[in-house]
Amino acid sequence: MTGAVIPSGVDAVVMVEDSTMVDADHVELTKAASPGGAIRDEGSDVVAGSTVFRAGQVLNAAGIGVLASINARRVKSIARARVALLSTGDELIIDGSPLKPGQIRESNLTMLERMIRDTGCEVNNLGVVRDDEDTLVEVLTRAVENCDAIVTSGV
């Protein structure tokens, strides 16, 4: 199996995926073994002194796995920027109901949310804020306390 010690004198391995269990004592190989096949030298995945990640690279799940494999238990990192997103206006309708005179469908939030996510930021979509100064101040105050940036549409 993956990661197992290779017995002395063995020069090839056939992966489990390339074999079929015939019975309790026999396995049929569906792919031929070749010298050195499926064998990696210890430590050959990352050579000592190699640069694994450069400053500014975004870490995904695979990258975090690489860091674990080299026992990098602490790394300097910066969390994704948290962006508050909101749209303002009493005329904006988001619930799918029929439009009344002077109303329009809110579409900027949908577009802006995708654009912001595509930059790698975390989006806190606060929805539509009605045209009320006190409410807007309250929403923006909370956003400032919890996010790194605020994107508004209609303010």
Distances (CA, A) of 126 to 11, 68, 154: 60, 36, 14
Q: What's the rounded mean pLDDT across residues 26-40?
A: 90
Query: What pLDDT, in 10s, does the model give residues 123-144?
Result: 999 999 999 999 999 999 999 9
Pair 51, 20 in one domain: no
Give burial (CB, 10 Å; 0-12/13-18/19+) of 44.
Answer: exposed
In a shared domain, residues 94 and 144: yes
Residues 88 and 148 in one domain: yes
pTM for the model: 0.60
| Structural domain boundaries, residue 138 | 82-153
Of the residues 55, 78, 101, which one is the last residue of a structural domain?
78
Q: Do residue 53 and residue 34 come from a single domain?
A: no
Give the chain's domain count: 3
